[in-house]
């Protein structure tokens, strides 16, 4: 029951992300999802070994505090805190997110899952979160928002890992966090270079680059 509730809240949070154009709210919801993933990681384990508690603490620290704090620092250096001209507006984004969520629920219901996962929302939430992250990546202009879209993609993959967490918990979760840290490091470099080159983090300006 607790796992399903956490997954449902995660799925609902995707809609709030899609409905917003405020960069600060993006960061807040990204932090919320980080804390929810840490709680989910704790809920899916039947035996709380030391490494489980360590991974829960690391997930909460990295996803729920460190990364949002870094994103807030990056935002503080910018004069614009809203997506002014997204490729897809909030209303259209929510509609597309709803379609993606419905499709995720449909696909997850058709997958041959083990009995322990057949009735859960793990696959549906994972697919919906990946879809919403991809939606942010392609429908928003700001590099910071696209970083949050990447985080959404990684969160979806993280949720997928819950399916095999009992078979190889430490390996799966460590690989996820390593992937996240590398991705954020790369995206931080990208944002810095865009800011230095254009005095803006609007990625649409990259189309002006010429040899």
Task: Provide the residue ranges of all domains of the chain, joining segments of one domain with +.
Answer: 2-202
Tokens of 68: 């949002």
**Average pLDDT value for residue range 139-162:** 83
142 DSSP β-pair partners: 202
Average pLDDT taken over every residue of the chain: 78
Number of H helices, E strands in the chain: 9, 0
- Phi, psi at 86, each rounded to 5°: -65, 155
Q: For 161-192, what is each residue's pLDDT tens digit?
A: 777 665 555 555 666 666 666 566 656 655 66
Burial class (CB in 10 A: 0-12, 13-18, 19+), 93: buried
Gap between the Cα atoms of 34 and 192, Å rounded: 24
Gap between the Cα atoms of 99 and 135, Å rounded: 12
152 CB neighbour count, 10 Å cutoff: 28
Of 14-23, 113-122, 142-151, 201-210, the poorest mean pLDDT is in 201-210
- Give the position of tokens 């899916």: 44
202 DSSP β-pair partners: 142
**Average pLDDT value for residue range 64-70:** 85
Query: Do 11 and 124 contact (CB within 8 A), yes or no?
Result: yes
Has residue 206 got a pLDDT over 50?
A: no
Q: Which residue has the higher pLDDT, 149 or 99?
A: 99
Q: Vertex 152, ends 151 and 156: CA angle to 5°?
A: 115
Tokens of 54: 């360590």
């Amino acid at each position: 029951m607790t796992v399903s509730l956490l997954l449902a809240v995660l799925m609902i949070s995707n809609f709030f992300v899609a409905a917003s154009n405020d960069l600060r709210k993006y960061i807040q919801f990204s932090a919320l999802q980080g804390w929810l993933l840490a709680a989910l990681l704790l809920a899916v384990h039947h035996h709380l070994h030391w490494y489980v508690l360590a991974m829960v603490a690391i997930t909460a620290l990295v996803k729920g505090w460190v990364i949002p704090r870094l994103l807030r620092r990056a935002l503080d250096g910018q004069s614009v805190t809203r997506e002014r001209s997204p490729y897809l507006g909030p209303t259209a984004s929510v509609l597309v997110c709803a379609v993606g969520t419905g499709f995720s629920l449909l696909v997850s219901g058709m997958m041959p899952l083990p009995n322990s996962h057949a009735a859960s929302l793990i696959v549906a939430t994972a697919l919906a979160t990946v879809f919403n992250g991809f939606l942010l990546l392609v429908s928003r202009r700001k590099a910071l928002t696209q970083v949050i879209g990447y985080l959404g993609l990684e969160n979806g993959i993280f949720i997928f890992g819950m399916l095999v967490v009992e078979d190889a918990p430490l390996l799966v979760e460590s690989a996820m966090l390593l992937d996240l840290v590398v991705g954020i490091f790369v995206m931080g470099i990208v944002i810095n270079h865009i800011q230095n080159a254009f005095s803006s983090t609007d990625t649409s300006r990259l189309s002006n680059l010429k040899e």
